[in-house]
Amino acid sequence: MPDAGRVPTALRARFRAAAIVATAFVAAGAVALAAGPPAAVAHDPPGIDRFLRALAAVESNGRYDAVNGTSGAYGRYQILPMNWPRWARRYLGDAAAPPTPDNQERVAHAKVHGLHHWLGSWDLVAHWWLTGSAKTDPATFSPFASWYVQRVMALYDGAASGEDGRTAYQESEAGAIYGGGWSRAQHGAYAGDTVAWTDAAGGSATFAFAGRSVVWIGPIGPTRGRADVYVDGELVKTIDLRAGGFRARAVLFMTSWPEPGEHTLRIENVGEPGRPVAIDEFRVGE
């Protein structure tokens, strides 16, 4: 498993080299890979600052002076040297603008802004940032690209940073009571590398906590099922966990109260054969 904080240099170099070749073909008119998003859209997409923090953490550990010795990609967002003049001209009005920290932020913000309006979701933007590909089906991503996207999105969801101010409780910690046939599954993108899962009809997990908010985090994907969510004994929602591609950590449910108090959250599998429901983590706001 690659280091969770940064993409390994050798693997990144391989993808950057591929991106260089693809860009060369685009310049020659042979491939319409990245005509790309429109130059400007009026409003920021939701979560753009949080996405940029997650992207920077994976790309460079947040360093404005980071340099990839193989591809020459530079800075907090590891922008390729061939891209910087074009992007600087487009977003700063000056192709010769230096990659200062402020300029890096302005260019990256504008670029991912347009990419999100073009591609429609942050996971697809993360994939494009690594590969230059506008693929929209996560099932077609390479294994490394899938890991990269999952890592960026785990950070985006607050899975690894705790910056949302909530306390994290992994599925194996005290406070969660499981009934009806649960097992453990492993994946490097899960918090603590494991989740609890069940595909048994009526399999349930009850989490007791004290606080003013709670979040359930877990995987989604093509083979996932549905779950009824009960808060303090009342059914409040049925969650469909099916999605076009696998994502190890997604915010599946959240709720809050005006004041702290003691509460229970119960997740119950609806029971579609072969379609599991899984729990990676609960997060509680005090």
Averaged pLDDT, 115-122: 92
- β-strands 247-269, 226-231 pairing: antiparallel
The overall longest dimension of the chain from CA atoms, in Å, is: 63
Radius of gyration for the chain, computed over Cα atoms and rounded to the nearest angstrom:
21
Reported as type and span, the H/E element at residue 110 is helix 101-119
Work out the pLDDT band at 154, boundaries 50, 70, 90: confident
Averaged pLDDT, 264-278: 93
pLDDT of residue 135: 87
Number of Cβ within a 10 Å radius of residue 27: 11
pLDDT of residue 7: 52
Q: Looking at the predicted structure, is the pLDDT value of residue 110 above 50?
A: yes
Per-residue tokens: 237: 């929602």
SS3 content of the chain, % helix, strand, coil (to 5): 30, 30, 40
Per-residue model confidence as pLDDT tens digits over 197-232: 999 999 999 999 999 888 899 999 899 999 999 999
Class at the top of the CATH hierarchy for domain 9-156: mainly alpha
Instruction: Round to whole Å and give the CA distance between 155 and 57.
Output: 8
Per-residue tokens: 111: 């670029």
- Say what angle helices 143-156 and 48-60 make with each other, to 10 degrees: 130
In one letter, which amino acid is 2? Answer: P
Q: How far is CA 256 from the centre of its chain?
A: 23
Instruction: Round to whole Å and give the CA distance between 15 and 27.
Output: 18
pLDDT of residue 273: 83
State the burial class of residue 151 (Cβ atoms within 10 Å of its Cβ: 0-12, 13-18, 19+).
buried
The answer to whether 115 and 107 have CB atoms below 8 angstroms apart is: no
Q: Which residues in the chain are classed under CATH 1.10.530.10?
A: 9-156
Instruction: Round to whole Å and give the CA distance between 20 and 18.
Output: 5
pLDDT of residue 4: 39
Averaged pLDDT, 46-75: 91
Work out the pLDDT band at 158, boundaries 50, 70, 90: low
Distances (CA, A) of 131 to 16, 21, 128: 7, 11, 5
- Residues in CB range of 270: below 8 A, 6 or more apart: 201, 225, 226, 227, 228, 238, 277
The answer to whether 103 and 42 have CB atoms below 8 angstroms apart is: no
Q: Which residues in the chain are classed under CATH 2.60.120.260?
A: 167-285
Of 46-55, 66-75, 84-93, where does mean pLDDT reach its minimum?
46-55
pLDDT of residue 115: 95
Q: Which CATH number fits domain 167-285: 3.40.50.11540, 2.115.10.20, 2.60.120.260, 2.40.170.20?
A: 2.60.120.260
Q: Looking at the predicted structure, is the pLDDT value of residue 248 above 90?
A: no
Per-residue tokens: 13: 């170099």
Q: Looking at the predicted structure, is the pLDDT value of residue 18 above 90?
A: no
Summary mean pLDDT of the chain? 82
Residue 112 has phi, psi (to 5 degrees) of -70, -30
pLDDT of residue 164: 54
Averaged pLDDT, 131-139: 88
- Residues in CB range of 141: below 8 A, 6 or more apart: 127, 135, 149, 245
